[in-house]
Structure 1
Amino acid sequence: MNTPDGFKAELIRGKIVVSPWSKLRYSRRMRVLREQLQAHVPKGHFADTSPFLFQFPAAERGYGPDLYVADESAFDEEGRHADGAALSLVGEFTSVSTKDADWTEKLEVYGRIVPVYLVVDVEGSEITCFWDPSPQGYRSRTTVSFGEPLHIPEPFEFAIDTTGF
């Protein structure tokens, strides 16, 4: 689907949802998080904020995460959409238009397959890490306020410094 400049489309609850790309004030936080993650990514993976759609066929969903860590080989394919199974981490930065989906819909879908899911609540000044996916969703979670370190489990195994958030 072609979207207007500055907008992305995702499949959420069986509907195509068009929303604007992140606000400028999120840029520094995204960059700080991406740079910290890049130093700890699993072999063959990379961290990015590029606008790509990841498919989750079992859930009939497709999301364009704000930030992700994925297996480089997923981008060797010809299509326009990457396989959600290639993700080792997803980071979503909540906004008024996406907050509900980030905390419900995406949490449910990512929680079955993506090893680590980060929800960065800029308005609430906190970050939540979900990990240990299962068919019923994530088994574990930790939330810290900005300024506190946040432990990121395997396959990363390090603490994010959130003072720059």
Structure 2
Amino acid sequence: MTEQATPIVDQGERTFDRLLRTVEELDTPDGFKAELIRGKIVVSRWSKLRYYRPMSSLREQLKAHAPEKHVVEIAPFLFRFPDAERAYGPDLYVADVSAFDAEGRHAEAEALSLVAEFTSVSTRDADWEDKLQVYGRLVPVYLVVDMQDREITCCSDPSPHGYRSRTTVSFGQELRIPAPFDCGIDTGDF
């Protein structure tokens, strides 16, 4: 498979639930994930090895500041955004642990308190456009770790029109993360 995200168009009934079931039933090859973006099933690669260090560093730093009963994870689960007809598998997320008590393979997006996406050539557009728009209506904090530009952006204060606050720093600088985390992230290892 190529590095580029590949849309798979469903030929039958194009409802959100049917597409979500199709995503659940896909047997993606090792190293790939399927998401529901812009009404299409998109299969893309998991992160490269060089993403491990920044992903691990971010995960460990957030653990100390996560809201009570929230987990910081990189496990490959889909979070559904039914109003936007999307289902994303974030690279890293912080979510209320109760979201994982349900049956099935996808959790409700309302459980999320933070999402981080690590850009790649194949996912960069979706991370900066589609996901920014959808997360910006619900998820309190969205971090875009731009591996190509070597910057990290914190978007916060969601509203019906998207995030109202945005801060960007270069790798190596500290990034402030607002409530419910209220902490600084050291990006020196990024």
- What count of residue pairs does the alignment treat as equivalent? 165
CA offsets, 1:33-74, max 9 Å, x none? 000000100001010111001000000000000000000000
Aligned to 1:27, what secondary structure does the other structure show? helix
Match of 1:138 in 2: 163
Unaligned runs of 5+ in 1: none
Code of the residue aligned with 2:81 in structure 1: it is F
Match of 1:96 in 2: 121
TM-score of the two chains, using structure 2 as the length reference:
0.86
Code of the residue aligned with 2:183 in structure 1: it is F
Match of 1:53 in 2: 78
Q: Following superposition of structure 1 onto structure 2, how do residues 144-155 of structure 1 map, counting pairs within 5 Å?
A: 144-155=169-180
CA offsets, 1:86-142, max 9 Å, x none? 000000000000000000000000000000000001121100000000010000000
Q: Following superposition of structure 1 onto structure 2, how do residues 47-86 of structure 1 map, counting pairs within 5 Å?
A: 47-86=72-111
Code of the residue aligned with 1:98 in structure 2: it is T
Cα distance in 1, alignment partners of residues 135 and 126 from structure 2:
11
CA offsets, 1:142-161, max 9 Å, x none? 00001110000000000000
Q: Over aligned residues, Cα RMSD in angstroms? A: 0.5
Aligned to 2:110, what secondary structure does the other structure show? helix
Aligned to 1:28, what secondary structure does the other structure show? helix
Q: In the TM superposition, what is the alpha-carbon distance from 1:5 to its structure 2 partner?
A: 1.2
Aligned to 2:41, what secondary structure does the other structure show? strand
Unaligned runs of 5+ in 2: 1-25
Q: Following superposition of structure 1 onto structure 2, how do residues 6-25 of structure 1 map, counting pairs within 5 Å?
A: 6-25=31-50
Match of 2:146 in 1: 121
